[in-house]
Amino acid sequence: LFPYTTLFRSRMWVKQADVDDGVVPGVSSAEEQRVKELEQENRELRRANEVLKRAASFFGAELDRHYRK
């Protein structure tokens, strides 16, 4: 099992190096890292938006209650 795993990882490393060098088509390591960073930022922004929506809803309801009295 161990030699097969090492061989497989070596092949994957060589393949990724070829992609990074532009020898074969594919997504480079830098592009893949950038996509991961953008996806993480997107998740964080979605969470922040959800918090802001809930806060706006809460404070809007509070203001509405004060004006109806």
pLDDT confidence of 3, banded at 50, 70, 90?
A: confident
The C-alpha R_g of the chain, in whole angstroms, comes to 25
Query: pLDDT (tens digit, 9 = 90+) per residue, 23-62?
Result: 999 999 999 999 999 999 999 999 999 999 999 999 887 7
Q: Is 27 left (phi over 0), alpha (psi -120 to 50) or beta?
A: beta
pLDDT confidence of 69, banded at 50, 70, 90?
A: low
Q: Which residues of 40-56 are buried (b: 16+ CB within 10 A; e: fewer)?
A: eeeeeeeeeeeeeeeee
- Please, what is the end-to-end C-alpha distance for the chain in angstroms? 75
pLDDT confidence of 4, banded at 50, 70, 90?
A: confident
The more confidently predicted of residues 40 and 67 is: 40
